[in-house]
């Protein structure tokens, strides 16, 4: 999320491996890495020294917490337009219960498509969304097609969806 905000706000960084956190030659850890940096194996919580080794041409930026918090507030405000039942779980993730919104806004998939479109149009950010009847399954689904994915797991198909996945893919395991 931090890297996506940086790329949004600084167009010259789009398409480049952006690494947010500690800045070389200093010590520190990676807080976030763009998808371009992840190709090189750069991950959150990795030492900056290791990130430089893996991605020497990466663009290393310090954390700008205020900007990321504002972007998070903006995303959460959009989510709350679709349902008041928003449970943030991190700066860039939340569970939504859209059961009460379906009559007015359509199916879970229709709501997911609309909120993704609103985030893209209003904030110039992408969102990966998992739609499922169970939070844990929705979380796993949201991770399946990053960036900017949408995965729907129909009620009653959760076991079939989860069965082929390695245990490490389960949220919290």
> Cβ distance 150 to 108 under 8 Å?
no
Provide the residue count of the chain: 173
**Is 93 a residue of the active site?**
yes
For every residue of 146-168, DSSP letters joined together read -SS-EEE--TT-HHHHHTTS-GG
Residue whose pair of structure tokens reads 């290393």 in the numeric block = 60
From 88, 109, 96, select the one nearest 155 (Cα to Cα): 109
Q: What secondary structure letter does DSSP report for 99?
A: G
List the one residue out of 140, 132, 147, 146 whose CA is nearest residue 163: 140
- Helix and strand counts by DSSP (H, E) for the chain: 8, 7
Answer yes or no: are the C-beta atoms of 78 and 123 closer than 8 Å: yes
- Which of the following is catalytic: 93, 109, 122, 143? 93
Q: Give the active site residues.
A: 93
């Amino acid at each position: 999320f931090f890297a996506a905000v940086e790329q949004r706000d600084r167009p010259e960084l789009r398409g480049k491996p952006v690494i947010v956190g500690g800045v070389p030659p200093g010590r520190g850890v990676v807080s976030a890495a763009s998808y371009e940096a992840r190709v090189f194996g750069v991950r959150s919580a990795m030492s900056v020294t290791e990130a430089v080794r893996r991605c020497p041409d990466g663009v290393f930026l310090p954390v700008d917490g205020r900007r990321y918090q504002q972007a998070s507030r903006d995303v959460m405000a959009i989510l709350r337009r679709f349902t008041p039942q928003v449970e943030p779980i991190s700066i860039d993730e939340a569970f939504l219960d859209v059961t009460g919104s379906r009559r007015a806004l359509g199916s879970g998939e229709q709501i997911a498509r609309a909120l993704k479109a609103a985030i893209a149009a209003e904030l110039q950010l992408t969102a990966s969304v998992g739609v499922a009847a169970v939070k844990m399954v929705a979380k796993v689904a949201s991770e399946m097609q990053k960036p900017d994915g949408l995965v729907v797991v129909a009620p009653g198909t959760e076991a079939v969806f989860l069965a082929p996945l390695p245990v490490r893919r389960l949220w919290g395991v």
